Structure 1
Amino acid sequence: MDGDKELVNVTYDELKIGQTASLSRTLTRQDIQLFAILSGDVNPAHLDESFAEDSIFRGVVGHGMWTGSLISALLGTALPGPGTIYLNEQLAFKKPVRPGETIRVEVSVKEKHEEKHIVVFESCCTNSLGETVAIGTSTVIAPSEKIRRRRPVLRDVQFHFHDRFRDLIDRCEKLPRVKMAIVHPVTMAAMRAVEEALKEHLISPIFIGPEERIRKAADSIHLDISDFEIAPTEHSHAAAKLAVEMAANGTVSAMMKGGLSMDELLSALAPSSAGLRTEHGISHTYVVDVASYHKLLLITDAAVNIVPTLGEKADICRNAIDLWRVMAGEDIRPKVAILAATEKVRSSMQATVDAACLCKMADRHQIKHAYIDGPLALDLAISQEAVQQKNITSSVAGDADILVAPDVNSGNMVAKQLTFLGHAAAAGLVLGARVPIVLTSRSDTKRARLMSCALAVLMAEARREGRLK
Structure 2
Amino acid sequence: MIVENRIFEELAVGESAQMRRLLTVDDFYIFATASGNHNPMHLPHVDGDGDGLPEAVAPGMFVGALVSAVLGNLLPGPGTLYRSQSLTFHNRAHAGEELLARVTVTAKTSDGCVGMHTEVIRPADGTLIVTGEAVVEAPRRKISYDDHDLPGLIVQRHRHFEALLARAEPLPALITAVVCPEEANALQGALLAASHTLITPVLIGNSARILATAEALGADLAGTEIIEAPDARAAARAAVDLVNRGGAGAIMKGHLHTDDLLHPILDHDHGLRTGRRLSHIFVMDVPGVNHPLLVTDAAINIAPDLLTKVDIVQNAIDLAISIGIAVPRVGVLSAVETVNPAIASSIDAALLSKMAERGQITGGMVDGPLAMDNAVDIAAARTKGLRSEVAGRAEVLVVPGIDAGNMLAKQLAFISHAEAAGVVMGARVPIILNSRSDSAMARLASCAVAAVHHARITAGAA
**Band of TM-score, shorter chain:** 0.5 to 0.7
In structure 2, what is the equivalent of residue 365 of structure 1?
Answer: 359
How far is 1:260 from its partner?
0.2
Which stretches in structure 1 are left out of the alignment for 5+ residues?
1-30, 39-68, 74-80, 85-139, 144-153
Partner of 1:264: 260
| One-letter amino acid of the counterpart of residue 263, structure 1 | D
Query: What amino acid is aligned across from residue 296 of structure 1 in structure 2?
Result: P
The reply on whether 1:182 has 2:181 as its aligned counterpart is: no
In structure 2, the CA distance between the partners of 1:349 and 1:155, relative to structure 1 (3 Å rule), is closer
Shift of the 467–359 alpha-carbon distance from structure 1 to 2, 3 Å rule, reads: farther
Give distance in 2, aligned partners of 1:82 and 1:441. 53
Question: Residue type of the partner of 1:248?
Answer: N
Aligned residue for 2:272, secondary structure, equals: coil
Corresponding residue for residue 162 of structure 2: 166
* Aligned counterparts of 2:451 and 2:279: Cα–Cα separation in 1: 18
SS at match of 1:398: coil
Residue-by-residue CA offset, 1:293-325 (whole Å, 9 max, x unaligned): 121111110101000110110000111100111
CA distances 1:27-74 after superposition (whole Å, capped 9, x unpaired): xxxx9x86xx99xxxxxxxxxxxxxxxxxxxxxxxxxxxxxx9xx99x
| Partners of 2:298 and 2:154 in 1: CA distance | 30
TM-score (norm 2): 0.67
Q: Which of the numbers 437, 445, 450 marks the counterpart of 1:456?
A: 450
Q: Give, in whole Å, the separation in 2 of the partners of 1:462 and 1:337.
A: 24
Q: 2:375 aligns with which of 350, 375, 381?
A: 381
Residue 426 of structure 1 corresponds to 420
- % identity of equivalent residues: 40
Amino acid at match of 1:466: G
Q: Describe the superposition over 1:14-37 as per-residue Cα deviations: whole angstroms up to 9, x where unpaired.
A: xxxxxxxxxxxxxxxxx9x86xx9
Are residues 158 and 272 of structure 1, via their aligned partners in 2, closer, same or farther at CA, if it must alter by over 3 Å?
A: same
Aligned to 1:57: none
Runs of 4+ with deviation above 6 angstroms: 81-84, 154-158
* Bigger shift: residues 435-444 or 163-172: 163-172
Could you say if the C-alpha distance between residues 179 and 222 of structure 1 is closer, same or farther in structure 2, counting changes exceeding 3 Å? same
CA apart distance, 1:388: 2.3
Report the counterpart of residue 248 of structure 2 in structure 1: 252
Does the 8 Å contact 1:280/1:318 carry over to 2?
Answer: no
- Partner of residue 218, structure 2: 222
Q: Where does the alignment leave 5 or more consecutive residues of structure 2 unmatched?
A: 1-23, 32-68, 82-138, 143-149
Q: How far 1:289 moved relative to its partner?
A: 0.6
Give distance in 2, aligned partners of 1:450 and 1:441.
13
Q: 1:199-249 CA deviation, whole Å, 9 max, x = no partner?
A: 101111111111111111212211111211111111111111111111122
Aligned residue for 1:465, secondary structure, equals helix
- Is the contact between residue 204 and residue 226 of structure 2 (CA under 8 Å) also seen in structure 1? yes
Match for residue 317 of structure 2?
Answer: 321
TM-score (normalizing by structure 1): 0.66
Q: How many Å separate the matches in 2 of 1:391 and 1:184?
A: 51
Give the number of equivalent residue pairs.
334
Q: Give me the CA root mean square deviation.
A: 3.2
**2:228 is equivalent to residue 232 of structure 1:** yes
Return the alpha-carbon distance in structure 1 between the equivalents of residues 327 and 320 of structure 2: 9
Tell me if 1:282 matches 2:297: no
User: 1:280, CA displacement in angstroms?
Assistant: 1.7
Distance in 2 of aligned mates of 1:211 and 1:400? 45
Seen in structure 2, the aligned counterparts of structure 1 residues 173 and 208 have a Cα distance that, compared at 3 Å, is same
Deviation string 1:347-373 (CA, Å, 9 cap, x unpaired) is 111101100110111011000111110
Show the counterpart of 2:301: 305
